[in-house]
Structure 1
Amino acid sequence: MKRRSLISLAAAVAATPILGSAQPKSWPNGPVRIVVPFAPGGGSTPPLAHMLADELTKVFGSNFLVEYKPGANGNIGAVYVKKSPPDGSAFLFTGAGTMATNPALYKNPGFDPKADFEPVILYATMPNVLVVNQTIPATTVKEFADYLRSTKEHLAYGSSGNGSSMHTAGALFLQATGTSMTHVPYNSAGAATTDLIGNNIQVMFQLVPGIAQFVKAKQVKALAVMAAQRSPMLPDVPTMAEAGFPALESNTWLCLVAPRGTPREIVQRMNEAVNKVLAQPSVRERIAQLGAQPLGGTPAEFASYLDSEMKKWGAVVRKTGLSVE
């Protein structure tokens, strides 16, 4: 699925008629767990997961509960769902790092995104944005790349951890521009952002929701959003394509998958229900307020997109020599 396809897919979901609420009584026949493989504090993933669980509870009339299984960049939660009964009682709510990057970063992450899971749906996407400390004498991406090549100072870029989208987005940037910086992994994006403002690090490839307020307060400079479209949260910041670097796209997309062997009917009904949720204007507005773009679509479309993302980030990992082990 190319970037234009993602945009058109989001538009199509917005125009999708809301489906009827009738569902077979055989499923769900008890609580359904939406497993998030990250810690509950901070970021947009937890509130997006809870929003989805609340809406699915309304659709099905059965409890959908968020359960956290953090650790190893999402690997622990992924393995947990992989080993869960394939009966529709557990789904994994995770993102690009877990599904597309970890298989290349880890020698044995404990799961195979394609062999161990049934694709259900792409839920939403959040773009990375290149931000620099106010002391950096650059206001465009080209000026920044030129500065990296000319300066004797070796700059550092921070991330929320090894293998995170902030880490891989930085690696993609360095590869595309032929420049170098030192990667500094933090335990959280918030800690890295604090050090960016304080000039302990000079660069981040932060997610828009986590940095927009500091850009607006002029505590950091945003040079370009790594997405096909400008972000409504930072409407004055150009895209990488507008800045002259069309290949530099990076985002954290979120998805829903089920353990391999989950009946096709359950996968399809969950897909229809999530599309129904994403078609609601109030839900789309709440997702946008969290700095994300709602997506949706079919399991087959998600499977195709996952293939392309695994190839893209696998190539970045191989070419840059990224490793977390």
Structure 2
Amino acid sequence: MQPNFKTLSAVALLATAFAAPVSAQTWPEAGKPIQITVPAPGGGGTGDTIARMLAEQLAPRLKTNVIIENKPGANGNIGAAAVAKYAPDGYRFLFSWAGTLAVSPKLYTTPGFDSQKDFAPVALICDVPNILVVNNGQPVQTLKEFVDFAKNNPGKLNFGSTGIGSSMHLAGELFMNQTGAKMVHIPYNAPGTATTNMIANDIQLMFQLVPGIASQVKAGKVKALAILSDTRSPALPDVPTTKELGYPKLQSSTWFAVLAPKGTPEAIVTRMNKEINEVLKDPEFQKKLAAIGATPLGGSSQQLASHLSAELDKWGGVIQAAGIKAQ
């Protein structure tokens, strides 16, 4: 007797239709841990710190262990590429940031993943802005004075960064693009070394991230001229923003987000988004973010998708205009 393929297909479709909602409704299974991959080393970096803070708060809400997996390498590309290949079962997520998600796809010919096609956006977490800081010996006190000084001294000012394509590098390229100034980029392997050299006037300025320079600003070791954002930083509330100072397009930050492998059930993505937003509303969690110079974001998965698309366009334009190549 030949099988009735129409009947079998109908049964299979019916089973699938009923199985998917049940799976999503019972997620996560009791005792089954959720793994969040951070494409950077463990041990106190800003991304790793925020990811672990988030995991700690998500665990009791999801009633299961939330484990951080560190998978560093190639500016985050290795970790992101690995998560893109994980099964979309709701137990694997990626915690990543602007540099990997919005810069690498434009900087590298083959980063190993497509940040829009290979992932389901879950939620924006927070934002850490870049800040323009200069050596105390520079004859400027304001952003306007610095712009004029830089334009009048083309090629004489050196700005440090943590490498080709880093947020500090691209913030400097964006500054030159927006102001017409010409400066020299000096890449370093570590932000601490660059900061030390700036204080010593071996380099004259940096577009540092707020957490990495706030203590030196407060101690008067460097001059902070502007936060490259439209809102002031909770860590340095007295420093004006570039938007306030007449440069609304001069904005640069490292934003952080959670994504899932493409194909993760929508109900699971929605649940994870809901729990993340609840964590971000918690006053104690907000205080912890503020202490490291981060501003909570949150919002829908669609908002993350739109933000990612805009950032890819923005930094892709900066990279192309400056002729930056990955090394």
Flag structure 2 segments of 5+ consecutive residues without an equivalent. 1-23
1:23-34 to structure 2, matched below 5 A, reads: 24-29=25-30, 30-34=32-36
The separation in 1 between residues aligned to 2:63 and 2:154, in whole angstroms, is 62
Name stretches of at least 5 consecutive residues in structure 1 with no aligned partner. 1-22
Partner of 1:150: 152
Label 1:149 to 1:26 Cα distance change in 2 as closer, same or farther (>3 A).
closer
Contact persistence 1:140–1:243 (CA under 8 A): no
* Structure 1 residue 290, shift from structure 2 partner: 1.5
Question: Is the partner of 2:250 in helix, strand or coil?
Answer: coil
Tell me if structure 2 keeps the 8 A contact 1:28–1:88.
no
Residue 240 of structure 2 corresponds to residue 238 of structure 1: yes
Partner of 1:132: 134
1:297 alignment partner, SS class: coil
Q: What is the alpha-carbon distance in structure 1 between the residues aligned to residue 45 and residue 185 of structure 2?
A: 21
Return the match for 1:206 from 182, 205, 208.
Answer: 208
Identify the structure with bigger relative contact order (alpha carbons < 8 Å, sequence gap 6+).
1
Code of the aligned partner of 2:209:
L
TM-superposed CA distance for 1:153, in Å, is: 6.4
The separation in 1 between residues aligned to 2:29 and 2:216, in whole angstroms, is: 43
Query: Matched residues in 1 for 2:155 and 2:129: separation?
Result: 28
**Partner residue of 1:76?**
78
> Is 1:37 equivalent to 2:70 in the alignment?
no
Number of aligned residue pairs: 303
Alignment partner, residue 196 of structure 1: 198
SS at match of 2:99: helix
Q: Which of 261, 264, 267 is residue 266 of structure 2 equivalent to? A: 264
Candidates 53, 60, 63, aligned match of 1:61: 63
Cα shift at 1:188: 2.1
CA deviation profile, 1:249-277 (whole Å, cap 9, x unmatched): 11110000011111111111111111111
Deviation, structure 1 residue 75? 0.6
Offset of 1:28 from its aligned partner? 4.3
* Cα deviation 1:60-88 (Å, max 9, x = unaligned): 11110111111111111100111111112
User: AA paired with 1:25?
Assistant: T
Instruction: Give, in angstroms, the shift of residue 150 of structure 1.
Output: 2.3
Moved more, 246-255 or 148-157: 148-157
User: Partners of 2:319 and 2:155 in 1: how far apart?
Assistant: 26
**TM-score, scaled to structure 2:** 0.89
Counterparts of 1:152 and 1:304 in 2: how far apart (Å)?
37
Q: Percent identity?
A: 50
Letter in 2 for 1:83: K
Contact kept, 8 Å, 1:73 with 1:163, in 2: the verdict is: no
Matching residue of 1:116: 118
Where does residue 175 of structure 1 map in the other structure?
177
RMSD: 1.5
Q: Deviations over 1:186-244 (max 9, x none)?
A: 22222221221122211110111111110111111111000111112212211112222
Question: Which of 102, 127, 130 pairs up with 1:100?
Answer: 102
In structure 2, the partner of 1:159 is 161
Larger Rg: 2
Moved over 3 A (4+): 23-26
Deviation digits for residues 49-107 of structure 1 (CA, Å, limit 9, x no counterpart)? 11111111111111101111111111111001111111122111111111111111111
Q: Which moved more, 1:118-127 or 1:308-317?
A: 308-317
Query: Closer, same or farther in 2 for the Cα pair 1:324/1:134, shift >3 Å?
Result: same
